[in-house]
Structure 1
Amino acid sequence: MELAVIWFIAIAVLWTGYFVLEGFDFGVGILLPFMGRRDSVDRRVAINAIGPVWDANEVWMITAGGAMFAAFPAWYASLFSGFYLPLLVILVALILRAVAFEYRGKRDDPVWRARWDRAIVFGSAAPAFLWGLVFANVVRGVAMDSDHIVTAGLLGLLHPYALLGGVTTLSLFTLHGAVFLTLKTDGPVRARARRAAVGAAWSAVPSGAIFLAWTQIAHGAAWTLPVAVAAAAALVGAVAAARLRREGLSFTLTAVTVAAASVTLFGSLFPNVLPSTTDPAFSLTVWNASSADYTLTVMSWVAVVFLPLILLYQGWSYWVFRRRVTGEQITGTSADGPKEVSAS
């Protein structure tokens, strides 16, 4: 297999890992107002549930972007220039969200916390919607000339398929986050998260099914059909498991749904990396957008050495912080749990 194809698969894996892991982070942030009053311990429980892992989850996005820049510079250049505005909003939202996590607990003032809570909600909802919008446009293709310069304006990115993609990721990540909270918390937050999961399912199931069907019919390959079907089946199974209070199974199935949906998108995109709707001959492909073989070879050796270490470290961190978060731990009435983390 050619190195360019291998690196396309590697980038798809990195983005898939980002959507699976950061997806439940986004969901928790979106659901924050529903977890309790703005000055309540319950909101702190929800935030502390992702406190030890949210920043590590964002590393997957940074790594994916860096790999695109090094392995497919033409793809990176066209994508980040043509999608400048939505990607800028995502960047600002992520920065605002990170600052809100750190500053929310700096003052014991309900108004202060409420302001940062709104920043967390925006910083979670905006990327959750816009990532779906961006990748739906990438799969569908954009107006692009022979010099691989995207000529589509903002309105050209807001077509029905892309908007449905945004709604799908927004609702799916919300469901993913609600299920994560049922698995990671206890007490009132866990009960509210169960109700939130059922509510999110009313949007996630129909939007996800329609988006996957549309993707497969309009852009899919023969081998992506069973993957898309598996994604839809896992989504229905996740909702059923949530209703039966099988939290571990439900979270596993929402993760499978996100991963399978991402595989469907990247599988439908290949061998293109950015199709042109102006003329198919202007499309960027795995081969005309890639770096030289020497660059890809060096990158491959670096990945072989460092990627297993990163995966082991992140797996270890999830294992260390595997216990449920409760209100008693936050208030310090339980001796076997942390009183606070910086994200509170």
Structure 2
Amino acid sequence: MYSFLQVLWFVLIAVLWTGYLTLEGFGLGSGMLLRRVARTDKERGAISKAIGPHWDGNEVWLLTAGGATFAAFPEWYATMFSGMYLALALILIALIVRICAIEWRKMVNSTKWRNVWDWAHTVSSWLVPLLFGVAFANLVQGMAIEVVDPSNPMTGVGPENVDLSVHVHNLTGGFFSLLTPFTLLGGVMLTAIFLSHGSLFLAMKLTDEMRERATKMATNTSIVSTGLTAIWALWAQFAFGGSQPLAWIPLAIAAILLIVSTAMTLTGRVRSAFFASFLGIAAAVAFIFTVMAPNVMKSSIHPAYSLTLWDASSSYATLSIMTVVAIILVPIVLAYTVWAYYVFRARISVEDVTPSGLLPYKIRAGENFLTAN
């Protein structure tokens, strides 16, 4: 039973990441296209309006994935967040900037103000998938992880002497050890997928010329993203997935779905292409977690240093309580997510955008901007 709960929570964390990457993938992709699909201030406002009702709900999946990892696999969380601290801090900063850009854009009635935040939105939207792609590629490839004695953390423990009741895992390679040709390609691959995913979303949500530009962008990017994904996934499977032949199943499913998405995009069936892309990303996440298993963090130094899901998990009591909570709350999250997208399903045009801000652009000298008229 204990092993079942450990596997269950490994799968549930994969599901949470699937929710985040499939939903926020097109949100980030829309931000990446803010300067490409939109040509005017009001058109950029239409794109911000398209993703404005959804970004916070999408981020719930990321927060829940992080929280579930902390609660279900505390040593995984500790090893990953301490060893990849700088990279994860950069992701956090980029996410904060993006959120500020979406929410603060409309706060001041100034084209210059909105332009600054539009640039911040665009840059942060490009940075987040690049960093996440590098991070996930590292989980597939393995990192410079060793086992150390907490009483003497500067001295490693030999593979034959590993005792996880005493020793702890430590990422010793440093920030630049995370950057390899494989992981950098992973970052480029995920960025390309999000760009294509976002363009399909905008083609469904926008009207007139913006819709045409988004459709053209989807056509141009879908072939590139599918090709990059195929190269990276085959590299991952042949180089790092030899011990998991089952990983060929989600890999094949992801490949078929992304090819179908590209074909539908080329034939103008944008809505079908978007849902095929959505499912293709989900299958790609399943592939990543299948390649990782039964490890949560693989060591590139020695297999004995790898952190397995059995060694990283919390107690049976903790996992049991979490399972009960998940059974109650996950359906609620799914329900309000579906409801939110149903309510805001209508297309958005330039005429739907109101340029006036909540605060005036210029405030009288000596006046508090909170009270000025």
- Name the TM-score, length of structure 2 as normaliser: 0.86
CA apart distance, 1:83: 0.8
Q: Report what 2:198 is aligned to.
A: 177
Pair 1:96–1:331, CA change in 2 (3 A)? closer
CA–CA distance in structure 2, aligned partners of residues 110 and 283 of structure 1: 52
CA–CA distance in structure 2, aligned partners of residues 199 and 245 of structure 1: 12
Report how many aligned residue pairs link the two structures.
334
1:2 aligns with 2:23: no
Q: Report what 1:106 is aligned to.
A: 107
1:254 aligns with 2:269: no
| Counterpart amino acid of residue 81 in structure 2 | F
1:322 aligns with 2:345: yes
| Counterpart amino acid of residue 28 in structure 2 | F
Q: Report what 1:122 is aligned to.
A: 123
Q: For the Cα contact (< 8 Å) 2:107–2:357, is it kept in 1? A: no
CA–CA distance in structure 2, aligned partners of residues 191 and 316 of structure 1: 28
CA apart distance, 1:38: 4.6
| Counterpart amino acid of residue 117 in structure 1 | D
Gaps of 5+ in 2: 148-167, 359-373
SS for the counterpart of 2:312 is coil
The one of 155, 167, 183 equivalent to 1:162 is 183
CA apart distance, 1:205: 2.1
Q: For the Cα contact (< 8 Å) 1:275–1:284, is it kept in 2? A: yes
The one of 292, 308, 321 equivalent to 1:285 is 308
| Counterpart amino acid of residue 144 in structure 1 | I
The one of 21, 45, 50 equivalent to 1:19 is 21
CA–CA distance in structure 2, aligned partners of residues 51 and 325 of structure 1: 12
SS for the counterpart of 1:149 is strand
1:198 aligns with 2:219: yes
Q: For the Cα contact (< 8 Å) 2:108–2:357, is it kept in 1? A: no
Deviates further, 71-80 or 227-236:
227-236
| Counterpart amino acid of residue 183 in structure 1 | M
Deviations, residues 26-65 of structure 1 (Å, cap 9, x unaligned): 10000000122352x2111111111111110011000000
Deviations, residues 284-321 of structure 1 (Å, cap 9, x unaligned): 10100000000000100111111111111111111111
Q: For the Cα contact (< 8 Å) 1:38–1:110, is it kept in 2? A: no
Q: For the Cα contact (< 8 Å) 2:6–2:313, is it kept in 1? A: yes
CA–CA distance in structure 2, aligned partners of residues 320 and 129 of structure 1: 31
Q: Report what 2:171 is aligned to.
A: 150
Q: Report what 1:138 is aligned to.
A: 139
1:230 aligns with 2:231: no
| Counterpart amino acid of residue 48 in structure 1 | K
CA–CA distance in structure 2, aligned partners of residues 2 and 83 of structure 1: 29
CA–CA distance in structure 1, aligned partners of residues 247 and 302 of structure 2: 25
Aligned pairs for 1:77-116 (under 5 A) are 77-116=78-117
1:36 aligns with 2:38: yes
The one of 265, 270, 278 equivalent to 1:242 is 265
Q: Report what 2:233 is aligned to.
A: 212
SS for the counterpart of 2:253 is helix
1:273 aligns with 2:300: no
SS for the counterpart of 1:32 is coil
Q: For the Cα contact (< 8 Å) 1:90–1:130, is it kept in 2? A: yes
Query: Root-mean-square deviation (CA), in Å?
Result: 1.7
Q: Report what 2:73 is aligned to.
A: 72
- The runs of 4+ residues in structure 1 deviating greater than 4 Å are none
